[in-house]
Amino acid sequence: MKNIFFLLTCFLSFYSNSNAQGYKNPVISGFHPDPSVCRVGDDYYLVTSSFEYFPGVPVFHSKDLINWTKIGHCLTRPSQLKLDKCAPSAGIYAPTIRYNEGRFYMVTTNVSGGGNFYVSTDNPAGEWSEPIFVEQGGIDPTLYFEGNKCYFISNGQGITISEIDIKTGKRLTESKIVWNGTGGRYPESPHIYKKDGWYYLLISEGGTEYGHKMTIARSKSIYGPYQSNPSNPIFTHIDEISQSNPIQGTGHGDFVQAHDGSWWIVFLGFRPQSLLHHVLGRETLLAPVRWDANAWPVINGNGTVNIDMNVPTLPLHPVKQHDFSTNFDETKLGVNWNYLRNPFMKNYSLTEKKGSLRLKASTVTLDDNDSPTFVARRQEHIDFSATTELSLNNAKKGDEAGMTVYYSPQAHYELLLKKSENGKHKLLVRYHMGVLNHIANEIEIPGDKIYLKVKGDKDFYSFYYSLDGKQFNFLSKINVWYLSSETNGGFTGVVLGLYATSPNQNTNAYADFDKFIYKPGDLD
């Protein structure tokens, strides 16, 4: 009887797995814009933009296009990624990942210096090569391999293409503008695919805002002329049908044909959460594509997408959810942590106090276009809580450390511990919004150790503290929209950071963070 039950369970499990249906968007949540994907066998690899954050260009892996694991970054060394004093939302723009003859290529633009370049590897979870730069202007570059040729496509005055030597990056032909889109502003994010003897050129137009859309053209020659799809745009949420959709700003897509022959597209979108403001940034979403022979691709039936996608999928391969929390007992920070610009690594330590992250205060502040002593992870959920245990040591007047809800140097909130004039430690809630600075609450605490908590919901960030890690006391709350892209501009999203700063030269102040606990709202 046990054997029969075991066989029945296996059968039902197989049947369910091989006839999977449905998933939720976004498939990668929180500040993961401009996705690009490639397939190798039944493995899928995806990259997204990273802007001023280091390391650059996160890499994800999946078996089903729905469940993704972050496996590393393409740009992990200063020699690959120079971000010195780069402006907010500058740095690394939209990447593309491609695979050819046993090697992965990631091509992108550093708009803060260097321009278009690519790196390569035979192990996307490992180290990538030094950059090879290409002298073709524009941004959002992509590569297209055919036979022994490689084509480089970017957008500048129009969608521009040339043939390059993939070993050196040297252009072998003059750059040629092949399409200007359908008349929408900012024709960008070009990708070329060959199907049924046609070269299909997919781009985005309208700007990466509420007017974003995807359009497509095709030609029998890679250099054109390209014929625009009469049904353009093939994907947008700007129309009446999607005006109330909880996902907006959809665009910047990349097609992939799955190992079962089906077609899919990854793309970006954002979720407005408070008076049409979004703070999580642009996220990675997924939709099925119908692409009949010699026909134009049709995305999800009507060119829109939903959060709940009730569609057939590949057999699902659930993965262990990445660690939202850490006790800082590792030898180096995990792949979900980032620095602002190129970090000064002497200010960071995981070894000087076991089970703690030590941040050594520097004079660079969160208001500067520089690299403060700061590490952060993305806010990935509208409803969440984040808690840390902090002690501030060797501090003098003005030295501070704490947790920041950070969008840019012009927009961030802090819950912080600061050394005051009388030698005591004060706990502050501080808001920085452009030229406005406001201390919302300030209390004196005994000792130099405190527990800090930030909670987020649709409309507010709320700040709490505890002396024992059990009973938390409310301090203040403020609207989320002051940290939104709509208020501040820019292309990133909110991150939750730990930091230490000092107005004193040659300071010996440091902060120990003994844990960081992040919980989605449904787990809080």
Whole-model pTM: value is 0.94
| pLDDT at residue 523, rounded to an integer | 59
| pLDDT at residue 423, rounded to an integer | 79
Residues taking part in catalysis = 34, 188
| CA proximity to 316, closest of 10, 12, 7, 22 | 22
Q: What are phi and psi of 85, to 5 degrees?
A: 55, 25
Q: What are phi and psi of 25, to 5 degrees?
A: -95, 150
Q: Which amino acid is at 167?
A: K
| pLDDT at residue 15, rounded to an integer | 37
User: Which strands form 149-155's sheet, in the order they lie side by side?
Assistant: 139-146, 149-155, 159-164, 176-179
User: Could you tell me the CA-to-CA distances from 471 to 383, 449, 452, 474 in Å, in that order?
Assistant: 21, 15, 11, 10
Both ends of the chain: CA-CA distance in Å? 42
Contact 119, 131 (CB under 8 A): yes
Hey, is 1 helix, strand or coil? Answer: coil
Query: In order along the chain (524 residues), what is the average pLDDT of each group of 10 residues?
Result: 40 43 96 98 98 98 98 98 97 98 98 96 98 97 98 96 98 98 96 98 96 97 98 97 96 98 98 96 98 98 97 93 84 95 97 95 97 97 97 94 98 95 90 94 91 98 96 97 97 98 93 96 66
- Strands of 276-369, DSSP E: 283-290, 298-299, 308-312, 339-340, 348-349, 357-360
Contact 378, 440 (CB under 8 A): no
| pLDDT at residue 231, rounded to an integer | 97
Q: Pull the structure tokens for residue 369.
A: 């276009």
Ramachandran region, residue 523 (left: φ > 0; alpha: ψ -120 to 50; beta: rest): alpha
| pLDDT at residue 323, rounded to an integer | 72
| pLDDT at residue 488, rounded to an integer | 97
Angle at 481 between CA 478 and CA 482, to 5 degrees: 75
Q: Pull the structure tokens for residue 164.
A: 């390059």
Contact 336, 325 (CB under 8 A): no
Q: Pull the structure tokens for residue 483.
A: 């940290």
Q: Pull the structure tokens for residue 486.
A: 């709509």
| Rounded CA separation 89/508 (Å) | 32
| Rounded CA separation 454/450 (Å) | 13
Reduce the secondary structure of 77-136 to three states and give it as a string.
Answer: CCCCCCCCCCCCCCCECCCEEEEECCEEEEEEEECCCCEEEEEEECCCCCCCCCCEECCC
| CA proximity to 396, closest of 428, 371, 361, 365 | 361
Q: Which amino acid is at 149?
A: K
| 233 burial via Cβ count (<10 Å: 0-12, 13-18, 19+) | buried
Reduce the secondary structure of 388-450 to three states and give it as a string.
Answer: EEEEEECCCCCCEEEEEEEEECCEEEEEEEEECCCCCEEEEEEEEECCEEEEEEEEEECCCEE
User: Could you tell me the CA-to-CA distances from 146 to 101, 106, 163, 164, 192 in Å, in that order?
Assistant: 11, 17, 11, 12, 11
